[in-house]
């Protein structure tokens, strides 16, 4: 792990770069372009940028219309508004007709910080994962974010890509190639496996190092695409290590933990511990304080690993 960059910053850079190569790419924003970083695209291509104001539902409908005439719309706002205010239109106008609409939602999870529980989206992965035809992506770092944005632009159909506010460690090499529906083993291990997404992947890598000092061999598998889930890498980890801890900056209900538990219940019953937000709303505080408050630190993952190992 090396340099720190916010995934939303990587998105702004990637979208502007893609705009050079593909003249059909357009960007829409709900009056938050400075925060979502679509403002980078807007400065380069003002004729292809649309500030839709605080009207998220209308933004999604407009994006669907643009997709219908051959454009590749990327629309952005905070995750709480995309998955909340825009939900019906995402379902009806984007997912139902398989429209080529890319929803890139920033400020996901509790690390939104001082904005508090009202703005901390901890349900959005579950909401979007439940929508048919929807691809759901949660990158670990800036490198993977750029790859995911390029992959979404090249693919057909609706996407939900969840990004964060704060800078996170870079866990992937610069030459990493993002593949839709493929997980990545970032650390080898034989005793148990962390299956993670988003910023929790860096936390799991740190936890694996702590466990190594105690003689416990922990594998780390990052899942960049929540849906479609890489079933092969999950089942392989379950069969080879026999104990799973999932970790996400999201409710333990319906997100990555739910997806992994559902798969293993049907294919390879394995002890599973889900680490995330335990069926409650967020609260106000600094990002690092909130990660500690909600039990999302490496030491919390170490404790979860020992708990699940005791159930092998």
Which residues carry out catalysis? 56
Inter-residue contact 267 to 239 (CB < 8 Å): no
β-strand partners of 214: none
The Cα–Cα gap between 37 and 10 comes to 9
The Cα–Cα gap between 56 and 256 comes to 26
Inter-residue contact 248 to 257 (CB < 8 Å): yes
Q: At what angle do helices 142-154 and 7-21 cross, to 10 degrees?
A: 40
Going through 223-265 in order, the beta strands assigned E by DSSP cover: 225-227, 244-251
Task: For the chain, give the number of residues.
Answer: 312
The Cα–Cα gap between 275 and 284 comes to 20
Q: Phi and psi dihedrals of 162, rounded to 5?
A: -100, 125
Computed on alpha carbons and rounded to an integer, the radius of gyration of the chain in Å comes to 19
- Which H or E element spans position 133? none
Structure tokens belonging to residue 297:
């630190």
Q: Which one-letter DSSP state was computed for residue 121? A: B
Q: Find, among 162, 165, 171, 110, the residue nearest to 138 by Cα.
A: 162
């Amino acid at each position: 792990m090396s340099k720190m960059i916010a995934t939303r910053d990587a998105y702004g850079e990637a979208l502007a770069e893609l705009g050079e190569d593909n003249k059909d790419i357009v960007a829409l924003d709900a009056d938050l372009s400075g925060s979502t970083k679509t403002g980078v695209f807007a400065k380069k291509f003002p004729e292809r940028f649309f500030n839709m104001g605080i009207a998220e539902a209308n933004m999604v409908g407009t994006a669907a219309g643009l997709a219908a005439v051959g454009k590749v719309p990327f629309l952005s706002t905070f995750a709480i508004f995309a998955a909340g205010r825009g939900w019906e239109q995402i379902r009806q106008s984007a997912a139902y007709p398989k429209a080529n609409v890319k929803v890139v939602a920033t400020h996901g999870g509790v690390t939104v910080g001082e904005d508090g529980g009202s703005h901390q989206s901890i349900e959005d992965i579950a909401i979007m994962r439940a929508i048919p035809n929807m691809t759901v992506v949660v990158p670990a770092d800036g490198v993977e974010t750029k790859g995911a944005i390029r992959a979404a632009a090249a693919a057909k159909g609706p996407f939900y890509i969840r990004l964060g506010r704060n800078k996170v460690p870079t866990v992937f090499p610069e030459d990493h190639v993002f593949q839709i529906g493929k997980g990545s083993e970032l650390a080898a291990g034989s005793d148990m496996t962390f299956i993670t997404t988003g910023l929790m992947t860096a936390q799991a890598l740190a936890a694996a190092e702590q466990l190594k000092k105690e003689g416990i061999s922990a594998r780390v598998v990052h899942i960049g695409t929540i849906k479609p889930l890489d079933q092969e890498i999950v089942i392989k980890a379950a069969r080879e290590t026999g104990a799973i801890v999932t970790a996400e900056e999201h409710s333990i209900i319906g997100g990555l933990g739910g997806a992994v538990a559902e798969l293993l219940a049907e294919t390879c019953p394995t002890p599973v511990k889900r680490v995330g937000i335990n069926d409650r709303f967020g609260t106000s505080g600094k990002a690092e304080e909130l990660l500690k408050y909600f039990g999302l630190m490496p030491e919390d993952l170490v404790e979860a690993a020992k708990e699940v190992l005791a159930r092998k």
